[in-house]
Structure 1
């Protein structure tokens, strides 16, 4: 008699990191899909049926002297405003999620350590954690920016919108695509530093500070246009621009802080002031401003990601 041959069953293959990530964070994936779908629907509604109704109401009820806003016009502007607020608040939500649920919680409960010992290296684990959400965020925000620009360019009710409004400027270009990626990397870094689920809150705080510094610095990296007015004309910057510095002009052409704010008529002569200057960015500089700020955001995001990988490597060495 011969002994029956023994057959070995292969151990189950671990799930691919991307699939495991999507399965683990399915609620966040669903929430992101709902967010994009809802904001897209609002923008398309404002561009289509609501925009047509608002435009008709504007032509019927508004003149050069007076305008009676009805529900269609109010709803049109409300849809536009709420979509901008949602797009602008997205990076904060991403930072909270990345710091808390994506990274901090897995380090706190030991899920990450288990994965490192069984199926995936720490570096690949973090790379997957960043790459998959980054791709989904980029795809979704790109769609929202395109739809927002579609609505902005149509501008069926010619009142109340300006390219230089902070929320409009943000949502109308590549800056809105880059900032969620910064939120992702800053959140991930704070999650690695804190190693607990509550790390999302410090991540949001850190992102707010970094965002403020970037928004302050980026207009100053693009050369300002300058307008000069005489003493009678005063400050002569055009309307519908992003304003920068302003001050007085001396007889030598030097630009100095205005020493005559609240002063009398004799003040300009006493300080050798012959006019006033204003610095500004016109609408023609929209894309230089957008691309400069986008480059800054992506550079800081890359630094945050590099810091996260360095910290993880040192802790797991």
Structure 2
């Protein structure tokens, strides 16, 4: 007689992996929406980089051939479609942090606290800390992958169409879409949204708080960006002819006493020659002129510096979320 040996027990999935699967299953609609958004934006950017740009450029060249004045104010349906696509994709990428914050605050945390599903999960072998870690880690992975695809494509589109876009490297929306700062703001939106959800414990208030705070953070970044990296100051004739695509921050004069007066355009109409500038200064009783600016080479230092600051804010928000959750669950446990 043969004895049938029992089948070896199946190994249970790792707790962290099971929690991640549960999170993906619960928010699968949001995951599909995110994937569709990334694919749609990527397709639009590739179109703008390739056939969209080529058709618009050919349209502009044809207009210049038939009407010289049209070269200064080109138009046409293809240029309009190209410009609209670039503007739309840039706006969406630059404001993705607000979308992430709204979803994280309302659906990821606020709704579960409001419905009580979070408290149910904490009683079923999932600690609050592990629950919150999964809420941050799993969406952060998909946000990072999406940004890693969209940012290079946006830079490709942006740099490839420079002659048709008439935009500068320091444009607020373009700057937030052309480098690692886009990912930093998106992760910050996730952390801020989670913290807002824990603070309010309700869906709609968490959405409002998360979007408001994240919008304020992006606006502060736009406002204080020029001061995040040392500027370049030049005097004399060099201040009258700054490098191409330089972000001029201030321009002024230097009196005979050595006093610098900003926002003063005296002698700014000189032709840039030393002789003409000296003549203007002599007639104005001034010693020199100066200008402060950021050259185009400061793009990456500003990107990296701002990314570090925003990631520090994200880390503070995530830490505050863990501290808040620990205090609340500890208080509830002590009460029980």
TM-score range, shorter chain: 0.7 to 0.9
Change in Cα spacing, 1:156 to 1:55, as seen in structure 2 (3 Å) is: farther
Give the match for residue 132 of structure 2: 126
2:284 is equivalent to residue 284 of structure 1: no
- Give structure 2 stretches of 5+ with no counterpart: 1-8, 267-280, 331-336
**1:91 to partner: Cα distance:** 0.8
SS at match of 1:66: helix
The CA RMSD measured in Å over matched residues stands at: 2.7
Give the match for residue 315 of structure 1: 328
SS at match of 1:62: helix
Preserved contact between residue 106 and residue 197 of structure 2 (Cα < 8 Å): yes
SS at match of 2:230: coil
Give the match for residue 57 of structure 2: 55
Change in Cα spacing, 1:105 to 1:45, as seen in structure 2 (3 Å) is: same
Greater Cα shift, 242-251 or 26-35: 242-251
**1:270 to partner: Cα distance:** 12
Q: How does the TM-score come out when normalised to structure 1? A: 0.86
Change in Cα spacing, 1:146 to 1:315, as seen in structure 2 (3 Å) is: same
Give the match for residue 149 of structure 2: 143
Change in Cα spacing, 1:234 to 1:45, as seen in structure 2 (3 Å) is: closer
SS at match of 1:78: helix
User: d(CA) in 2 for partners of 1:244 and 1:157?
Assistant: 24
**1:211 to partner: Cα distance:** 2.1
Task: Map residues 231-242 of structure 1 onto 2, 5 A cutoff.
Answer: 237-242=242-247
Give the match for residue 183 of structure 2: 177
Write 1 or 2 for the structure with the bigger share of helix: 2
**1:118 to partner: Cα distance:** 0.6
Preserved contact between residue 215 and residue 293 of structure 1 (Cα < 8 Å): no
Counterpart selection for 1:165 from 159, 162, 171: 171
**1:243 to partner: Cα distance:** 2.9
Preserved contact between residue 229 and residue 236 of structure 1 (Cα < 8 Å): no
Change in Cα spacing, 1:283 to 1:240, as seen in structure 2 (3 Å) is: same
Greater Cα shift, 203-212 or 54-63: 54-63
Change in Cα spacing, 1:257 to 1:130, as seen in structure 2 (3 Å) is: same
**1:271 to partner: Cα distance:** 9.9
Q: How does the TM-score come out when normalised to structure 2? A: 0.81
User: d(CA) in 2 for partners of 1:150 and 1:258?
Assistant: 36
Counterpart selection for 1:66 from 65, 70, 82: 70
2:197 is equivalent to residue 210 of structure 1: no
Task: Map residues 184-263 of structure 1 onto 2, 5 A cutoff.
Answer: 184-198=190-204, 199-229=206-236, 237-258=242-263
Counterpart selection for 2:108 from 77, 102, 106: 102
- Give structure 1 stretches of 5+ with no counterpart: 1-8, 262-267
Q: Count matched residues.
A: 300
